[in-house]
Structures are given as structure tokens and as C-alpha cells.
Amino acid sequence: MKFGILINEGPFTHQASDSAYRFAVAAMEKGHEVSRVFFYNDGVNNASKLSEPPQDDRNLVKLWSAMAQEHGVDLVVCIAAALRRGIKDENLADGFRISGLGQLIEAGIINDRLVVFGD
């Protein structure tokens, strides 16, 4: 099965990003494909290379970046939501790219399922 994922919450305020990451890892371990993860609303904060969680805490930004590099998952950040939160190309973490809502629509069309995490 081919999955697209939509994340609407940031990495440090809700469980949604953790759950989405764990879902993606589990799906790929079972042989499924995760083609695109779209970060929307506060979810765009998952893409900021400026965040520095404590050393004993998980670093979701680095985990998403590693997933993109290792598995070729397309990590797309909504441009409008990103700009509202001060996230621009120069402070995106590795593996993320900024684009528009058309990428979310496309994810819903090209995948078997679009799984949403967060409100």
C-alpha cells in the first residue's frame, strides 16, 4: 500500500508528529511505501533546523530528515503556514522542501491512503 501523511501539529506540543513518524516507520518496515509527508499549520515546525531539543529528548526534525535521506520520502512544508511562522528556505532542515497546497492534493490523489495526524 502507498501512503501519504499529513501532519498538522508541531514536534513539541502534541503527540501527532511522534505518532506520524512511528506510523511511517512501521508502514515501511511492513513493506509499504510512504511517498510524501505534508506539514501544515503548526506541523511546519517539524522542518525548522533552528530547534534544539535537550540532549536526552527525541529530535523529530533529525528523525524526519534521516527518513527522507534513507527512504526517499518527500517532506513537503506548506509555504503559507511556514511563512506565517517565520520558516523560510534558509532555515529548513535537510530533506525538507517548501511548496504549496497542490502537493497535499496530489498526495491524496497518488496514494492509496492519506493519513492525517493532528487537528
Q: Which residues are catalytic?
A: 78
Instruction: Copy the grid coordinates of residue 92.
Output: 529548513
Greatest pairwise CA separation for the chain in angstroms: 39
Question: How many CB atoms lie under 10 A from the CB of residue 69?
Answer: 11
List all residues 6 or more positions away from 73 whose beta carbon is below 8 Å from its beta carbon: 24, 34, 35, 36, 37, 67
Q: What's the rounded Cα separation, in Å, for the pair 115 and 5?
A: 5
